[in-house]
Amino acid sequence: MKLGAVLPTCEIGRDPLAIRDFAQTAEGLGYSHLLIYDHVLGAEHADREPPLTGPYTEGDPFHEPFVLYGYLAAVTERIELATGVVILPQRQTALVAKQAAELDLLSQGRFRLGVGTGWNWVEYDALGIPFEGRGERIEAQVELLRKLWSEKVVDHTDPYHRIERAGILHRPTRSIPIWFGGLGERPVKRAARMADGFTFGSANRFMLKLARLLRVELEARGREHEPFGVETIVGYGQGPDQWRRDLEAWQSVGVTHFSMRAMSTGASVTGEADPGFTTPRQHIDALEHFTKEVS
């Protein structure tokens, strides 16, 4: 089992050295990977129809995952850099293929692309992409990403894309892992069909139930013996006793990646205790405490 840490993108601040120190500390402590969340825009929640139900607003700062990981690829050597998740349907597929391939090159094969459909329809509108149909769109995108990474020249047409005899260079030297994430049965079933792994955003009972469904879906498709990653994220504010209970529970569903999140933002939505951190140093110090308690 691999230990990971969520990069506290909403609370790490603007100092590149603090971000570097977080990543290098995690690597030095033996963490397997970092996870980063994705939002291009934050939106006010008040007076929306339909309502915005996610935890992030216009007041939550987000570092851009591909750009930030390009920086961290240069200042780390071993730690995997994972998105958990990029909102793929609101991004151009060919551009994501290019960005991911470049990041995999710069990190020497340390990039994992986690993708999901998201919840913020205001963000979709601002980026000129329909919110409706995002589930079907992401499936077409994953198929096309793998083509662009593996084929010199791609000729491809689907309801969302037209690429006429074109390709990207440099292509990655391996198949970049594509993991899914989400909050319901549909993304879990989708992942069982076409992904390399799944990131569950919390370790609570609801997510554990979805993880059991994932195992059933993998078995139904004859994939139960394939390498397939299962990641869950525990809230730092829950404390060591709960971390260990969560780890034991998730080992029963084949967890491969066990990660820690110490951001206050979103804690109430997932039912976790709020760590209440106010400085980058507190986030960095939490890395050592967590790994001592669960390793």
Sorted by where each starts, the structural domains of the chain and their CATH numbers stand as 2-294 (3.20.20.30)
Closest CA to 32 of 23, 20, 43: 23
Low pLDDT (below 50) residues in the chain: none
pLDDT value, residue 194: 97
Q: What percent of the chain has pLDDT over 70?
A: 100
> Tokens 């691999």 identify what position?
2
pLDDT value, residue 295: 87
pLDDT tens digit sequence for 256-276: 999 999 999 878 778 899 999
Closest CA to 75 of 106, 35, 53, 99: 106
pLDDT value, residue 178: 98
pLDDT value, residue 14: 97
pLDDT tens digit sequence for 22-77: 999 999 999 999 999 999 999 999 999 999 989 999 999 999 999 999 999 999 99
pLDDT value, residue 266: 78
pLDDT value, residue 269: 78
Q: What percent of the chain has pLDDT over 90?
A: 96
pLDDT value, residue 271: 84
For residue 198, the cross-strand partners are 180, 230
Report whether the peptide linkage leading into residue 170 is cis, meaning its omega lies within 30 degrees of zero.
Answer: yes
